[in-house]
Amino acid sequence: MDRRHFLKQSTLASSLFFVPNFVKAFENMSATGLGYKRLVIIQLAGGNDGLNTIIPFNNDVYYRNRPTIGIQKSDLIKATDELGFHSNLLPLKELYDQGYLTIINNVGYPNPNRSHFRSTDIWQTASSSNQYLQTGWIGRYLDNYGNKSYNAIEIDDSLSLALKGQNINGIATKNPRVLFRTSQDPYFKNVLKHYQDEHLSEHNLGYLYKTMIAAESSAKYIFEKHKTARNKQEYPNNAFANQLKTTSKLINSGIETKVFYSSLGGFDTHAGQLNQQSRLLKIYAEGINAFVSDLKQQGTFNDTLILTFSEFGRRVKQNAANGTDHGAANNVFIIGNQLKTPGFFNDLSSLSNLDDNGDLKYTVDFRSIYATILSSWLSIDDKSILNKSFSKLDFI
Amino acid sequence: MKQQDIQHLYWRAGFGATPNQLKNLSAMDKHQVVDALFQNSSSSTPLEIDTTEIERFTVKSVYKDKSKRREFVKISNQKLKVLNTFWVNRMVTTEALLREKMTLFWANHFVCRGNNIFYVQQYNNTLRNHALGNFGDFVKAISKEATMLKYLNNKQNRKRKPNENFARELMELFTLGEGHYTEEDIKESAKAFTGYSHNFEGEFVLRKFQHDYDFKTFFGHTGRYDGDDIIDMILEQKQCARFICRKIYSYFVNDIINENRVEELATVFYKDYNIKSLMRHLFMSDWFYSEKNIGSKIKSPIDFLVGMIRTVPVEFEKPQDVIKIQKLLGQILLNPPNVAGWKGGKSWIDSNTIMLRLKLPSIILANAKISIKEKGDFEDSFETYYSKKKKNKFVTTAIDWETFETACSSFSFDDLKQQLVIPELSEGTATYVKTLSQNSKRNFCVQLMSLPEYQMC
């Protein structure tokens, strides 16, 4: 929403100058133009090793390159004749069996960047590898189709680039109660009470007040919505599961939030990968399992799509420290019950025909996945968000 | 010089004037104030942390032994955090305000990120050394810095297989801006930088067998150019002066660009690319002090944090907390988001950062409590509100209120307001501030710092 539009709305709705009316005007605008479908994005931060997540157990090249960290046939859950799940992904394999999971192999982009920061930026902004965008793809979605910060929520303490738009940003909260309490500080409330509409026309200062009012209003809305819902499923006791628990609560409250964003870190496994990754995959799979089951029990799984990605995969060849170094293309998981191609969307790239760096070559541009989700799931014009047209994939 | 003008100058050229500085400077005229600013920044003191712990590592030990390498990376990462907090402390305590502010500016221009403490520290000091020097020398020095050679892949730029990353950013982000060169210019200039590399100590090395000594055609000229030649040819374009001055204007004057002023600055700068002369011209201009420029900018997280601690000296028990605050506010020193740097302006502020910013003065200075007892109001509802809250300490600090109180002992509450809050308060806010109890300067200071207006400079 631009400032002029905002001003118009607020002056129409309020003939007085003081804030309460003004905040009210904010509350009364509905999130029109947004569908009812929701997207939950999960980043496995640090570069998850896709080859030890979904394992090509019939491939000699795999075992040759990974003499000590390759996962043995006997120690995994077979899905096809070629590929199997890591043994800690049993809950995910169950979703696969029920047709709720699509695995897209070899997802990446041209000229991959192997820095965590840079590659995360690329995934979060949907830029090319030589392009530096200052807005995220969800932020641009908010700019074009949203009108409130809480149309996209990050379950964290601070906001990622993914949710930063040109005119409107998403909002971050790990705990709606804490966010609400912060926003209800009596001092701020007093400052807002004494604030005048006419100041909104000012350049930067007006923007501060506008953001403050929006923050207060969003925090209140999120908290009140959040209070009305309950989880119908036990969740494991860890930070990641807690993020999903909060997400589920918000979804089931009927909040006008279309995109949720959260992440699970620790995947930068340069040394002693086996234990560390096993532990993380268990946390991931068990959390997802509880989340999906919660949504199903409350009838909201139909309208929820879960996208899981990592900023890059790992090098095919293991390193001397029983770990793996930064790689390129990786697998992406799509979870939902309206999938067109459940199971494996495509074959795994060759493990012998690698790029110059010894990494898997990508065959699917991640922006094609975004384009598909934007157009087929959120029913909006993907080009206006991605600034370019990407071919759509037939997975939803 | 008028107090408001001094404060304006000191916010843009530094991190705000302390009460003492304001007292001393108000008797001087503009010339003298600006002269003093430059005088204090005339020499450059390197920022150095103790690295003896990892100085014993040699090329051999690090590259031949993987466990050593891991140890090196680990210690280096810890040291980078130390360098971060040292840098913050430098900005808080320095006399060379302008040099430090310019260093911060250039760190967001020649954006770079690295994980080798030696290279990063050296880079940071290169920024500091050249901050007020000749821009051409500056760019040339940057092109030879170890951490930059690594960050923009120039180490992989070889005669047989040129890597264009550095050449592209050199023109797009460091000197000319998009649209003022062709793809062919990038290709040809990349050749001039082939073989640019560095040794383990971080010194520049030209790898002769990787350097392309052949002819290159750049901006219509042909010759056996090296990187320095390319930079000289870039500087001949007035666009380069314009590009830098535009950035200077938006950083030091106003987010809303006045093209005539930028052109005026560019003409000054183009003459000899002397950064000091450019900045002097800017700070001496009447238009710099015009009303619409005063209090019009949103402080960056670092400006905000450093400015606050300059007013009320604070020591953080855990240095890591300083980095935590930077992270939550969206600007971690030495860790820019990408080669384009922090966007600045409105992008500093979202629903989360605004709430944290307004709360931070009370978190750091007053145990998260903002005293809001209003004049003549004896109800204790707010006190109850706060006391009900769990004492969940976000940071632990030692606060030197005495320095603050001594410095502003001669100030009235109104003076204090004038000094801490740069933009005019709206009528409503001004009324509210008047209703606040004025029996403690400490409380009043925290209250003023918790106003949205305090975010402006």
DSSP code of residue B11: H
Under 8 Å between Cβ of A201 and A7:
yes
Which pLDDT does position B67 carry in this prediction? Answer: 83
pLDDT higher than threshold 90 for residue B33: yes
- Per-residue confidence band for A4, with pLDDT thresholds at 50, 70 and 90: very low
Which pLDDT does position A15 carry in this prediction? Answer: 31
Which pLDDT does position A20 carry in this prediction? Answer: 37
Which pLDDT does position B55 carry in this prediction? Answer: 83
Least confident of A108-112, A114-118, A368-372: A114-118
B429: closest CA of chain A, how far (Å): 5
All residues of chain B having their beta carbon less than 8 Å from the beta carbon of residue A208 are 298, 349, 354, 452, 455-456
Under 8 Å between Cβ of A146 and A31:
yes
Average pLDDT for A261-266: 94
3-class secondary structure, B190: helix
A199: closest CA of chain B, how far (Å): 7
Which pLDDT does position A378 carry in this prediction? Answer: 94
CB atoms within 10 A of CB B179: 8
For residues A329 and A313, give the distance between their C-alpha atoms in angstroms, rounded to a whole number: 6
Q: What is the CA radius of gyration of chain B?
A: 24
Which pLDDT does position B374 carry in this prediction? Answer: 58
CB atoms within 10 A of CB A355: 16
pLDDT higher than threshold 60 for residue B20: yes
Are the beta carbons of B372 and A203 separated by less than 8 Å? no
Which pLDDT does position A110 carry in this prediction? Answer: 96
pLDDT above 70 as % of chain A: 89
All residues of chain B having their beta carbon less than 8 Å from the beta carbon of residue A193 are 432
Dihedral angle over CA of B297, B298, B304, B306, nearest 10: -40
Helices (H), chain A: 3-13, 19-28, 60-65, 90-97, 116-125, 137-145, 176-183, 186-193, 204-228, 239-252, 273-297, 366-372, 382-386
Average pLDDT for A257-279: 94
Least confident of A39-48, A312-321, A341-350, B382-391: B382-391
Report the residue of A132, A168, A177 to disrupt the B interface, i.e. the one with the largest count of B CBs within 10 Å.
Answer: A132
Type of residue numbered B205: V
Give residues with Cβ within 8 angstroms of B31, minimum separation 6.
B284
Helix, strand, coil percentages (3-state) for chain B, rounded to 5, are 60, 5, 35
For residues B263 and A124, give the distance between their C-alpha atoms in angstroms, rounded to a whole number: 36
All residues of chain A having their beta carbon less than 8 Å from the beta carbon of residue B354 are 208, 211-212, 215
Which pLDDT does position A202 carry in this prediction? Answer: 67
Which pLDDT does position B373 carry in this prediction? Answer: 62
Q: Which two tokens stand for residue B363?
A: 């978190």
Between the ranges A235-239, B366-370, B389-393, where is the mean pLDDT highest? A235-239
Average pLDDT for A151-179: 93
All residues of chain B having their beta carbon less than 8 Å from the beta carbon of residue A198 are 426
Under 8 Å between Cβ of B396 and B321:
yes
- How far are the Cα atoms of A52, A106, A125, A336, A360 from residue A330, in angstroms, in the given order? 11, 5, 18, 20, 8
For residues B344 and B326, give the distance between their C-alpha atoms in angstroms, rounded to a whole number: 14
DSSP code of residue B436: B
Q: Count of A–B CB contacts within 8 Å?
A: 125
Which pLDDT does position B385 carry in this prediction? Answer: 57
pLDDT higher than threshold 60 for residue B313: yes
pLDDT above 90 as % of chain A: 76
Q: pLDDT tens-digit profile of B349-390? A: 999 999 999 999 999 998 777 776 655 544 455 556 565 554
Backbone conformation region of residue B375, classed left if phi is above 0, alpha if psi is from -120 to 50, else beta = beta
Under 8 Å between Cβ of A328 and A337:
no
Q: Name all contacts of B49-55 with Cβ < 8 Å and 24+ positions apart.
A: B49/B79, B49/B82, B49/B83, B49/B86, B49/B117, B49/B121, B51/B79, B51/B117, B51/B118, B51/B121, B53/B79, B54/B79, B54/B117
Whether B220 contacts chain A with CB within 8 A = no
Average pLDDT for B123-131: 98
- Per-residue confidence band for B98, with pLDDT thresholds at 50, 70 and 90: very high
CB atoms within 10 A of CB B208: 9
Which pLDDT does position A35 carry in this prediction? Answer: 56
Under 8 Å between Cβ of B41 and B96:
yes
- Per-residue confidence band for A197, with pLDDT thresholds at 50, 70 and 90: low
Of B351, B428, B450, the CB nearest to A211: B351
Which pLDDT does position B215 carry in this prediction? Answer: 97
- Per-residue confidence band for B16, with pLDDT thresholds at 50, 70 and 90: very high
All residues of chain A having their beta carbon less than 8 Å from the beta carbon of residue B359 are 182, 185
Whether B370 contacts chain A with CB within 8 A = yes
Q: In terms of Cα–Cα distance, which of A203, A167, A222, A200 is closest to A18?
A: A200
Under 8 Å between Cβ of A393 and A331:
no
- How far are the Cα atoms of B196, B227, B230, B336 from residue B139, in angstroms, in the given order? 14, 10, 11, 19
All residues of chain A having their beta carbon less than 8 Å from the beta carbon of residue B338 are 117-118, 121, 132
Q: In terms of Cα–Cα distance, which of B254, B255, B258 is closest to B291?
A: B254
Which pLDDT does position A32 carry in this prediction? Answer: 39
Q: Cα B368 to the chain's mean position, in Å?
A: 27
Q: Which two tokens stand for residue A316?
A: 């095919």
Which pLDDT does position B334 carry in this prediction? Answer: 97
- Per-residue confidence band for B146, with pLDDT thresholds at 50, 70 and 90: very high
Give residues with Cβ within 8 angstroms of B64, minimum separation 6.
none
For residues A76 and A98, give the distance between their C-alpha atoms in angstroms, rounded to a whole number: 19
Which pLDDT does position A114 carry in this prediction? Answer: 87
Are the beta carbons of A132 and B340 separated by less than 8 Å? yes
Where are the domains positioned within chain A? 3-386
For residues A368 and A376, give the distance between their C-alpha atoms in angstroms, rounded to a whole number: 12
Whether B222 contacts chain A with CB within 8 A = no
Q: B residues 281-300 near A, CB within 8 Å?
A: 295-298
Which pLDDT does position B392 carry in this prediction? Answer: 57
Query: Which residues on adjacent β-strands are paired with residue B235?
Result: none
Are the beta carbons of A205 and B389 separated by less than 8 Å? no
All residues of chain B having their beta carbon less than 8 Å from the beta carbon of residue A211 are 349-351, 354
pLDDT higher than threshold 80 for residue A98: yes
Q: pLDDT tens-digit profile of A33-50? A: 445 799 999 999 999 999
Average pLDDT for B268-280: 98
Are the beta carbons of A204 and B431 separated by less than 8 Å? no
For residues B9 and A186, give the distance between their C-alpha atoms in angstroms, rounded to a whole number: 34
Of B355, B382, B429, the CB nearest to A191: B429
Which pLDDT does position B383 carry in this prediction? Answer: 57
Pairing outcome for strands A259-264 and A38-44? parallel
Of B330, B338, B456, the CB nearest to A121: B338
Pairing outcome for strands A152-154 and A259-264? parallel
ipTM of the complex: 0.90
Which pLDDT does position A287 carry in this prediction? Answer: 98
pLDDT higher than threshold 50 for residue A332: yes
Domain boundaries A3-386, CATH class: alpha beta
Q: Which residue on chain B is closest to A180 by alpha carbon? A: B355
